[in-house]
Amino acid sequence: MTRFLGRPLVLHLLLAMLSTVIAVGCAELVFRWHLQRTFDAEFPPWTENLVALDGPQVFEFKPNASGVFPGNVDSTRTFPYRTNSHGLRDRDRFEKKPGSTRVLVVGDSYTWGYAVAEDEAFPQTAERLLNERGHSEVEVINGGIPDYNSRQERQLLERLMPVYQPDAVFLAYVVNDAEPSTAMPTPPDEVYRHASSWFLTELAEVANRRLFRRRVLPSNKDTFGGSYLDGFDEGSLKWRDSKEAIRQMHEICAAARVPFTVLIMPDFTQTFDDHYGWRPIHEAVAGWGRDLDIRVFDLLNTFRGEDHQTLWVPWDGHPNAEAHRRIAEFLAARVREDLLLAAR
């Protein structure tokens, strides 16, 4: 008799489980449809020269465009920019001449030269320094895009390699390079790329933010964290993605027989002493470079002990023209060493 009474209970449990699965599945479909339908393709006014892309790169600059960008601290302060035929903040380059040397620098707003003039950005300054010192055959190409992270830089590098055919590639790594891009609305399939369920992941995000007010439930949504250091926690998907992008950039260069070097950039809004807060990020990137047998230089050592306030744009926070000149001096020295070594 007990056996027969238990059957309805089992059926009820199975029906409840099936109903829950169906409900969650329907919620997942509706949520994905809603995100895709409401995905904001309207750019802010100052991004009129950006083009939305599918996939990890998210966006790029329109070719042969010009405009102004606002400062990050004081948006009433602006500066002009223009792009070349490949959407870079660089002059157009003619077909590569025999005997010439091309250096491609890939990075974000630090490389692009945010809040400084185009000819003050460190790639352009490094080219000028090398030319003045007898290396007129050397071109240094500015492959920086503001707000790019490592994954976007990897996509850009693959596109630019056949265009410019560089003889050396430098990656300028900045402490926020593991974070998602914020300049443009990010496609939902990029935001939830690590999540098997977008709906349940968003529920966990909402519960953590509004109910617990801290991270209690696991979530694989790719969003900006409270601190850049959060992205470098053990097991962090952000750092895992950034590491993989660096590894792939190294492989892209190795396949083309082109040396690949990483320059770790310091945060110029922080003091260059023992109170500098992002040292663990520098150490993580340098350690990954050693694991991959990549040449890595940490420019925090170049500026250690100096007054950071003399090296940044106060109405923006990015490195100023003097900081770019110092970075250019370092880059030019590395390029010159490589040229002399290759000549032996």
Distances (CA, A) of 172 to 64, 185, 317, 331: 24, 24, 17, 10
With tokens 């320059």, the residue in question is: 263
Q: What is the full DSSP assignment across 116-168?
A: S-GGGSHHHHHHHHHHHTT-TTEEEEEEE-TT--HHHHHHHHHHHHHHH--SE
DSSP 43: P
Helix (DSSP H) and strand (DSSP E) numbers for the chain: 10, 9
Tell me the pLDDT of the chain (344 aa) as tens digits: 445 445 677 777 777 787 877 887 898 899 888 888 877 655 555 578 998 888 899 999 999 999 999 999 999 999 999 999 999 999 999 889 898 999 999 999 999 999 999 999 999 999 999 999 999 999 999 999 999 999 999 999 999 999 999 999 999 999 999 999 887 788 888 888 888 898 888 888 888 888 887 777 888 888 877 789 988 987 889 999 999 999 999 999 999 999 999 999 999 999 999 999 999 999 999 999 999 999 999 999 999 999 999 999 999 999 999 999 999 999 999 999 988 777 65
Give the Cβ contact number of residue 123 at 10 Å.
Answer: 30
**What does 62-124 look like in DSSP terms, one character per residue?**
PTT-EEEEE-SS-TT-EEEEE--TTS-SS----SPPTT-EEEEEEESHHHHTTTS-GGGSHHH
The CATH T-level fold of domain 49-186+226-343 is Rossmann fold (3.40.50)
CB 105 within 8 A of CB 144: yes
